[in-house]
Structure 1
Amino acid sequence: MAENVKLRRWPKIPVYVCEDHHEVLPHIYRAIGSRHLPFTGTVLVHFDAHPDLLLPDILADDCYNKEILFETISIGDWILPAVYAGHLSAIIWYKMDWASQIHAGSYTLGVGRHKTSGKLRTTLAEDYFLSELLYSPHEDLDNVHTIPLVVVSFSSNSELDLVPSTKRARIENDKNDSPNEKAIKLLDGAQHWILDIDLDFFSTANPFCDPFTEEQFTFLKHLYHFNNNSNGSEKEKQQTQDNHGIKLDSLKESWIKNKIGIEHPRARNLEELVNKQCISTNKIHLCGLMSDLPHHISSEQEITDTIKQTQKWIGQLPHQPVMVTIARSTDDGYTPGDQVGFIQKHVLDMLNNVFDNQLDVNQCYLDI
């Protein structure tokens, strides 16, 4: 379809700076509609403290209805609908070493329509998906779209290895390639890619720990921890996921019925927060579900060092992205409010340096 359509080029690289991360997806879809991006075959390079690879609670067929899709997606589930719709051919997630939702490595990610529910599900049985009850075996899905997912981790105080051009000339993947080498090779073979940056990549908070003391939040995290006891078989993976779903339902019911302190004596001080109306039962359950999110407030030096590493990484690539999308993520509490201005300015300065000031920056948020 789109492979036979001549694509257009912008005179400068458009940069869309949004507040919430899912607000970048309409800009990507408009680029597809205006024939600046192909209908299929685009690689997404995602710098973020979070994978954003959850699945929205919609029918799979609604991924083809932009009005329903854009009204339903949220900050954590905006990417995979574009995989199911066929637009993205690979995802590369660059994360700091303190973000551990998916371990560094190379994966095969399938997204399809569940034959019974009609909902989106994934074939990747990593803890990130199992703990969110989003995994289904391939045979339970229709219309599965399969793409490579590469997860690359680096630290602000150590250099991310650059990939020599002599090694990159070997397009075929070597089993000894590091995740970063696999990512660079993917991009070397890609004609079209999107550079996507969440400012919380450089410094992130977990806003769901705010109502609690450190001791309280540590135990809440323990209560909601996902235990993967499967032996690797499809049946065991499904059973582990189902057991976790039962556990979450039980915890929610215990909060509602004021039984959590009886069933878990160490949770009595948490129960007191509910009884004193410091926090609602729904909110404390939500905080428990979100307790595994990363929390790392970086110093200005860490932020500056990470931006320099990011610049080196982008600078080694053979061709420019078609577009750049940026999420501030400060209204939802992930990028610290007292750091977002500093991070945004230095990220835009870095991008201007890499791309010789050939950027068309669009502010797509209200600056209050």
Structure 2
Amino acid sequence: MPKRKASDADDDNPNKTDNDRPSILIDLTICEDHNHVLPHIYNALRTIYRRSESKSPPTFRLIHFDSHPDLSILPTLKREHVKQVSRLQDELDGSQEGISCWITPLILQGSLSIIDWVHQDFCKQIKNGSHDVKLGWDEQGSCKTSSNLEYYIEDGCEVTNLSTELLEPVEFTINSTNASNLLSSENAVCGCWILDICLDYFVVSNPWLDTPFFHEIHEKVETTCIAYAQTMVEEKKLSGRYDEYEEKTWGEILECCRYTKLPHYPQLVESAFHDFKESLLLAKSRCENPPSCITVARSAEDGFISLDEVEVVQERVLRIVKTIWSVNVHVDYINK
């Protein structure tokens, strides 16, 4: 038998997985706004498709570390936007809700089948567990959901029952940041998956709590406020005594009520870094492939993490990721 280099032997080893090959460089892109990771995910999917022998677009799983689910439905999202990336990006950039709606187009495109939203215990927008969500389009081409999750109802997303043929079912798994809960032995990740990290996972502020309008109405922001405001709006509309000023005022109150329930934990959670690293190590051991790409959102300019802390958190996250995989870091934001 002729001599050969150890690297050649490794390449011929049928038990060797991509995760074991240190030469593979994974693209890691850092953006400011979370919806700006979308083009980089699309690029990764196109690369996978070109290398694949399959004629069908690749499907993938998203492991999403964040204090927010980012699974809302953009009110202006239309069917034609899903396959037009530049138009979709314009819609997301032009909306205040864009940073919370960027995952839905991937679901509707048929590329994303499972979402693991990994969060701290103080994030309660969607209760822990596994939830099947159905999304689809109405006759006007607007996105709808038949889900009765409180997250969609409170977030102002229209909920409706649609016929099955109009819907694309999607399953997403929600776990706390516990390594054993994220990837249990019967729930290992195989095939294509993407790692997404928002830095507000480690320390998060609710910027709405510092707005002047919130301080004006904070006495009214209670559990019953949303229902009360909605009732007042409907009664005024029915009686015909509902002018534009009242519509704007009650609309602001409803918006404020929803946003004041967002997570607010401005103290850095040291244990989160340990749990984050343990989760990634477990993913490496239980996944046959490394992530197809890694995306990072800073979320500092929108106030969800302070400008004083974002650089420190970003450096610590990069240091952890680099101990697990070889990465090629791309910066897609401008420091202001």
Q: Structure 1 length as normaliser, TM-score? A: 0.71
Confirm or deny: 8 A CA contact 1:48 1:200 kept in the other structure. Answer: yes
Alignment partner of 2:295 out of 325, 338, 355: 325
1:253-276 deviations in whole A, cap 9, x for unaligned? 68924997xxxxxxxxxxxxxxxx
Partner of 2:61: 43
Q: CA deviation at 1:221?
A: 2.7
| Mapped pair 1:93 → 2:117 | yes
| Mapped pair 1:305 → 2:271 | yes
1:173-228 deviations in whole A, cap 9, x for unaligned? xxxxxx5356x644x2421100000000111111111035987564343277556x
Once residues 150 and 217 of structure 1 are traced to their aligned partners in structure 2, the CA distance between those partners, rounded to angstroms, is 36
Partner of 1:54: 72
Confirm or deny: 8 A CA contact 2:28 2:296 kept in the other structure. Answer: yes
Confirm or deny: 8 A CA contact 1:224 1:248 kept in the other structure. Answer: no
Confirm or deny: 8 A CA contact 1:36 1:322 kept in the other structure. Answer: no
Partner of 1:112: 136
Q: Quick one: higher RCO (CA 8 Å, sep 6+), 1 or 2?
A: 2
| Mapped pair 1:365 → 2:333 | yes
Once residues 294 and 11 of structure 1 are traced to their aligned partners in structure 2, the CA distance between those partners, rounded to angstroms, is 37
3-state SS of paired residue (1:11): coil
3-state SS of paired residue (2:157): coil
Confirm or deny: 8 A CA contact 1:199 1:326 kept in the other structure. Answer: yes
Residues 36 and 307 (structure 1), Cα distance of their counterparts in 2 relative to 1, 3 Å cut: farther
Partner of 1:65: 84
Residues 190 and 138 (structure 1), Cα distance of their counterparts in 2 relative to 1, 3 Å cut: farther
Once residues 28 and 259 of structure 1 are traced to their aligned partners in structure 2, the CA distance between those partners, rounded to angstroms, is 37
3-state SS of paired residue (2:219): helix
Confirm or deny: 8 A CA contact 1:224 1:289 kept in the other structure. Answer: no
2:89 partner letter: F
- Structure 2: runs of 5 or more not aligned: 1-20, 93-97
Partner of 1:192: 192
Confirm or deny: 8 A CA contact 1:99 1:294 kept in the other structure. Answer: yes
Residues 84 and 213 (structure 1), Cα distance of their counterparts in 2 relative to 1, 3 Å cut: closer
Q: CA deviation at 1:53?
A: 0.4
Residues 180 and 254 (structure 1), Cα distance of their counterparts in 2 relative to 1, 3 Å cut: farther
Partner of 1:12: 25
Partner of 1:77: 101
Alignment partner of 2:176 out of 117, 134, 153: 153
Confirm or deny: 8 A CA contact 2:115 2:171 kept in the other structure. Answer: yes
2:27 partner letter: P
Alignment partner of 1:337 out of 296, 301, 307: 307
Report how many aligned residue pairs link the two structures: 295
3-state SS of paired residue (1:222): coil
3-state SS of paired residue (2:166): strand
Once residues 259 and 214 of structure 1 are traced to their aligned partners in structure 2, the CA distance between those partners, rounded to angstroms, is 15
Confirm or deny: 8 A CA contact 1:217 1:291 kept in the other structure. Answer: no
Confirm or deny: 8 A CA contact 2:229 2:254 kept in the other structure. Answer: no
Q: CA deviation at 1:282?
A: 7.1
Q: CA deviation at 1:62?
A: 2.2
3-state SS of paired residue (1:329): coil
Residues 129 and 50 (structure 1), Cα distance of their counterparts in 2 relative to 1, 3 Å cut: same
Residues 259 and 31 (structure 1), Cα distance of their counterparts in 2 relative to 1, 3 Å cut: closer
Once residues 349 and 36 of structure 1 are traced to their aligned partners in structure 2, the CA distance between those partners, rounded to angstroms, is 30
3-state SS of paired residue (1:94): strand
- Structure 1: runs of 5 or more not aligned: 1-8, 155-159, 164-178, 228-242, 261-280
Once residues 278 and 41 of structure 2 are traced to their aligned partners in structure 1, the CA distance between those partners, rounded to angstroms, is 25
Q: CA deviation at 1:332?
A: 0.4
Confirm or deny: 8 A CA contact 1:209 1:287 kept in the other structure. Answer: no
Confirm or deny: 8 A CA contact 2:77 2:91 kept in the other structure. Answer: yes
Q: CA deviation at 1:149?
A: 1.1
Confirm or deny: 8 A CA contact 2:72 2:157 kept in the other structure. Answer: no
Partner of 1:347: 317
Once residues 224 and 106 of structure 2 are traced to their aligned partners in structure 1, the CA distance between those partners, rounded to angstroms, is 30
Partner of 1:293: 262
Q: Structure 2 length as normaliser, TM-score? A: 0.78
Once residues 142 and 69 of structure 1 are traced to their aligned partners in structure 2, the CA distance between those partners, rounded to angstroms, is 24
Matches within 5 A, 1:236-275: 256-257=245-246
1:180 partner letter: L
Once residues 110 and 147 of structure 1 are traced to their aligned partners in structure 2, the CA distance between those partners, rounded to angstroms, is 6
Identity %: 25
Q: CA deviation at 1:354?
A: 1.8
1:346 partner letter: R
3-state SS of paired residue (1:109): strand
Once residues 259 and 325 of structure 1 are traced to their aligned partners in structure 2, the CA distance between those partners, rounded to angstroms, is 37
